Each structure stands twice: as C-alpha cells, then as structure tokens.
Chain A
Amino acid sequence: MQQIRNGFIANLPVAASVGAYGSVLGVLAAQKGIGWLTLLIMNLTVFAGSAQFVMVDMWIAPLPVLEMTIAVLIINLRYLLIGASLQPVFSGAPLSHKFTFMHLVADENWAVTMAALRNGGATIGFLFGGGLCVISAWCFGTMFGHRIGALVQNPEALALDFAFIAVFTALTVSLWRGREDLLPWIGAAVIAVAAEKLIPGKWYILLGGLGGALIAAVRRPVKKEEQDAAV
C-alpha cells in the first residue's frame, strides 16, 4: 500500500503533462463526433496515448478497423521492449500479477519506475501506483478536453488540426538517442513521405518505421555494444 502511494506521488509531475495533452486528444475526439463514453472506454482499455491519437486521426466512418488495428500494433511495438525491461521488477512474481499489473504500464510511469529501479526503489506496487496516477490524469484530461471540444465551432481557426502533428513532432524528438539515429531517421522520413504519396492507406507508417530501423540494424554496431557483445 505504501509502495502504491509512493508510485502515485512520484508520477504526479509527469501526470500533469499527460493530462494536458490528454485534453488535446479530448478536443480532437469531440471534433470527430466520438462520444465521451466511447473515449473513456478507449482510455481504460487501450491506455496508450500515441496510439489513441492515431485512432482518433483515422476515425472516419466507416471505421477502417483492420488498418487501425495494424497501426496501433506498429506504434505500440515498443511496449514489447518496455515489457521486457520490467523483468527485474517482476522477478519471482506469480503469473497472475504479471497479467494484472502490466496493463497499467504507460511510457510515463515506466520511465519513472526505471529511474527508481536504478536507485533500488522499484516494486510492482510502485509501478502500479504510478499507473493509477497516469491513467487518472489521462481520463481527467481527455474528458475535460472533450467537454471543451464540443463547444469549438471552427477548429481550423484555433490550429487544432495541427495539434496532431505538433504532439507527434514533440514525441518523436523526445525519442532522439544521438547521432546514431541520424541515418535511420533520414531513411524513415524519406520512405514515409514517398510511400504516403505512392501507396493508399496508412502503410507509410509501417514502411518508414521498418525501413529506418533496418538501416540501424545493418549498420556497424557502435563501440559500446561491441564490447557488450564480446563479454
């Protein structure tokens, strides 16, 4: 219980920004005519910010269900790595705990938990408390934005149509790891822009993402990793 509390409190600062950009998603969802209950259910079951932004972006009737699911799969592939990195936190825990507590893992409380892990203070309770904090902020933010969004008559005049691009530009930059990313990122951008023009649908996300990452894979490993591999 104490651990859940600690995790909740440790995540309050990031929860503020989660709530803030959640409110943007709420506004965009209201503009697309998505009901508040639908949005709330999406928050609680999917609980993945960037994927939800993409779903709302693709939300044009009739919903392209298969394309949406594939887009979510591609964008959330990183959760495979996030899940794997939490292995030290869950070591020795029963399978039921793994199945229960992994749902409330988002980028934000994951990052806070990994920082706590380096200081030896990460437990499942801490992770879960952080998850409760982040999902609360996410729900409050999106619901607040949804109320406001229903009142906005002319979204273009408020540059709301640019919000999606702005959010993802910022999220992308926050993932920059250093010069090793330069070639893969150039490759990804070129492939994505070309594919978007040539191929209908959202396949450019997959092609650009995989193409760029492939450049990273075939390049000579950086020195540090060579040492690690040699051990």
Chain B
Amino acid sequence: MQPFDYRIVAAIAGAALVTYGLRVGGLLLSEKLPKTGAFRRFMDALPGTILLSLVAPGIVAAGVWGTVAAVCTAICTWRTRNVFLAMLVGMGIVLVERHLVG
C-alpha cells in the first residue's frame, strides 16, 4: 500500500463532487438552460472543442508518426464508430514505428 496522502483524497473528492454537481445541476436547471441562441450554440459546441483542445498539443508533441497514428485513429473512428478498435489502430502504428523504424 502507498502511504496515505491527503492530496489523493482531495483530488478524488473534488472530481467526484464537481461531476455529481454537474449531473444533478443540469437536471435541476433544465427549465432554465436556454434551448436556442448563442449560449446554446456555445454549450453544444463545447464537448467537441474541449476534447480536441485536450488532445491537440499531445498529437503535435508526438511528432510525425504520432500525427500519422492520430489521423488513422480519427479515420478509423469515423468509419467504424468503434472507439476501442480505433485506439488499437493508433497504438499499433506507434508500436510498429518504434520497433521497426525508430
């Protein structure tokens, strides 16, 4: 066992409370959240832009082969709608590159 670290407790508790708050908050605020207009367009676009922002710098940092692997992962997701398969494709390309090319 690792030694007790209050930061671990705080990190998990913080993440849990924030996530639960958003889940329940969305349901309770459902009447008040706008269904049209600029704010709605903002909220609708947010999930995609956030995940992209999360991953884009990592792809750039992974170099040429990392970028190739990410593009192939994207194409595979697009074609098959299977996130797990697409992930294996991306990892496979990096794996092959490291053992054969690199």
Q: Do A and B come from one complex?
A: yes
Give the interface of A toward B (CB within 8 A): 17, 20-21, 24, 33, 35, 38, 41-42, 45-48, 50-52, 54-55, 61-63, 65, 68-69, 72-87, 90, 98-99, 102-103, 105, 156-160, 162-177, 181, 184-185, 187-189, 191-193, 196-197, 204-219, 221, 225, 228-229
A156 and B35 CA atoms in complex are apart in Å by 46
Task: Select which of B5, B35, B51 is within 8 A of A171 by beta carbon.
Answer: B51
- A167 contacts B53, C-beta separation under 8 Å: no
Q: With contacts A162-B90, A162-B91 known, what are 6 further pairs, Cβ within 8 A?
A: A45-B15, A77-B50, A165-B58, A168-B54, A177-B48, A188-B48
Q: Nearest Cβ distance between residue B63 and chain A, in whole angstroms?
A: 11
Task: Select which of A90, A162, A166, A219 is within 8 A of B27 by beta carbon.
Answer: A90
- Number of interface residues, chain B, beta carbon within 8 A: 75
Chain A residues with Cβ below 8 Å from B57 are 192-193, 196-197, 204
For this complex, 11 residue pairs linking A to B, each with C-beta atoms less than 8 Å apart, are A46-B16, A52-B15, A68-B15, A72-B18, A84-B27, A86-B30, A172-B74, A192-B57, A193-B57, A221-B36, A229-B37
A197 and B10 CA atoms in complex are apart in Å by 28
Summed over the interface, the residue pairs from A and B with CB atoms below 8 Å come to a total of 292
Task: Select which of B1, B19, B78, B89 is within 8 A of A46 by beta carbon.
Answer: B19
